[in-house]
Amino acid sequence: MALAALGWVLSDEDHAQRLLALTGITPDELRERLGERDVLVAVLDFLMAHEPDLLACAEALEVTASDIARAHAALNAMDQDTDWGA
C-alpha cells in the first residue's frame, strides 16, 4: 500500500516536491531506501497529514482512506528494534 501511495505521490511534481521538502528526504536517498519502513511511514505520514491528498490517493489506488490509514497504523506498530526478551 505504501509503495503504491508513493507512486501516486511521485506521479505529480507538486506532490513529489512537497514530500521531499516536508520529509527532508533527497531523491537519491528515496531511491536507495525505497523499501525501508521509515521511508514508507514517512510517505503515509505525508498523506495522513493532508486529507485532500489522502482522499485523492485512495481514489486513484481504488482503496478507501481507511485502508491507507490501516496500512499507516500497521507500519507504525512495527518496531524492528524491539527487544522482546527484555
The pLDDT of residue 77 is above 60: yes
Provide the grid cell at 28.
537519491
Looking at residue 82, what is its pLDDT? 44
pLDDT in tens, 27-73: 999 999 998 999 999 999 999 999 999 999 999 999 999 999 999 99
Burial profile 18-40: b = 16 or more Cβ within 10 angstroms, e = fewer: ebbeebebeeeebeeeeeeeebb
